[in-house]
Amino acid sequence: MRIYLDYNATTPVDPAVLAAMLPYFSENFGNAGSVHSAGQRARAAVDAARESVAALIGAVPNEIVFTSGGTEADNLGIFGAVAASQKSRKHVITTAIDHHAVLHSCEELARQGVDVTFVPVGRGPASQGIVDPEDIRRALRPETVLITVMHANNELGTIQPIEEIGRIAAEAGVRFHCDAVQSAGKVPLDVKSLGVDLLSISAHKFCGPKGVGALFVRSGTRIVPRAWGGHAERDRRPGTENVPGIVGIGKAAELARLKLTEDASRIRALRDRLEASLLERVPSVRVNGDRTRRVPNTSNLTFVGAGGEALLIALDLQGVACSTGAACSSGSTEPSHVLTASGLSREDARSSLRFSLGRPTTAEEVDHAISVIPAVVERIRALSPRTAPSSTAAMPAR
């Protein structure tokens, strides 16, 4: 039995999404920029996808710019908004736990002379992995041109107070970008109530194909493009449209919208069962991140005294796939920046695993994982130089 519990890294393409995409590789291969009927069929499909993506996030279709994924959407939103500002000195605010697609963009901005503030996040049990909006307010300066804060954190699942930050940004007249790559399809998204000017999503996180995403750009928000070419995406993102991919994100968005409520409650129940059972059966386990303000599918656990990489490999051999952090950081010896910023020691951060469930996850899979994980943890702990019991005595219950 192979059990995939790494849906925050990526998801399988839903069969209905694949079926919708397939004709656009073959009989409907037209270029959406062509005038003839083949081009018009492709254009109509792109337009329909734009409506569907807009509906998922409460936007209007012409506020959607298709991109090659979440990373490009983040880059376009961040660099595009900063370049569009007329200010001579520029300052950007982000958080210590944002995704590398945002953090590394901000670091590049800093190399280009923009000041960047990386706001820390809560470390206490009741707010671990959540930024305090007042800290964002305190970081504001007259030269601030952009606030960029993620919605759901990819490692902890914690949901950031985007509405409050949106109000702070609006009061200050500062553009607000939100990386919602990990919340699209997991929790309802409405760009109006979130108060964002720019918002990124990525199809492969909600049962769509890899390599396609979207940036919401509120009407009236100016961004300077990152690439130069033809007039696609209303001059904001040139290049021949990836029609099959765009059809894929459109279908995936439609399914996500229709199934969200049902998916969320079923997946939450399974995640809670997994978490509760592991807390009961494995000694010295901690849940990382605020437990109430979380997306329903994610559980990040520290198995005190057991190396995360060793656990990951041993679990994989038992057929259970999970993660030690962001997929792109796997294999690196550095502990997760999210976990250390959330107050974990480097050692505990290295002893943590992320389990993330998805639409295909079944109760049988969760039960099987529950039956396999305790013995694997015990074995890895026995092999580890630091033994768990010495660190359990003073451990707070979270």
Site for ligand PLP in 298-357 (CB under 6 A): none
| Candidate list 99, 293, 350, 381; residue touching ligand PLP; CB under 6 A | 99
Q: CB of 185 within 8 A of CB of 205? A: yes
Distances (CA, A) of 167 to 56, 177, 196, 197: 22, 13, 9, 11
Backbone angles phi, psi at 104, to 5 degrees: -70, -30
| Candidate list 71, 85, 148, 356; residue touching ligand PLP; CB under 6 A | 71
Q: How far apart are alpha carbons 262 and 333 in whole angstroms?
A: 38
Catalytic hit among 106, 178, 322, 328: 328
Site pattern 203..222 for ligand PLP (x: CB under 6 A): -x--------x---------
Q: Contact region for ligand PLP (CB under 6 A) — 11-19, 64-72, 87-95, 215-223?
A: 64-72
Q: How far apart are alpha carbons 260 and 277 in whole angstroms?
A: 25
Q: How far apart are alpha carbons 397 and 276 in whole angstroms?
A: 13
Q: CB of 74 within 8 A of CB of 82? A: no
Q: How far apart are alpha carbons 43 and 318 in whole angstroms?
A: 47
In terms of CB distance, is 177 or 204 closer to ligand PLP? 204
| Candidate list 154, 323, 336, 351; residue touching ligand PLP; CB under 6 A | 154
Query: What SS3 state is found at 252?
Result: helix
In terms of CB distance, is 103 or 168 closer to ligand PLP? 103
Q: By rule CB under 6 A, what count of residues binds ligand PLP?
A: 14
In terms of CB distance, is 43 or 204 closer to ligand PLP? 204
Specify whether 207 is catalytic.
no
Chain-centre distance of CA 339, in angstroms?
15
In terms of CB distance, is 174 or 201 closer to ligand PLP? 201
In terms of CB distance, is 186 or 271 closer to ligand PLP? 186
Contacts of 82 (CB under 8 A, 6+ apart): 90, 92, 109, 114, 145, 146
| Candidate list 97, 150, 338, 373; residue touching ligand PLP; CB under 6 A | 150
| Candidate list 21, 32, 70, 161; residue touching ligand PLP; CB under 6 A | 70
**Residues acting as catalytic residues:** 328
Residues in touch with ligand PLP (CB under 6 A): 69-71, 74, 99, 101, 150, 154, 179, 181-182, 202, 204, 213
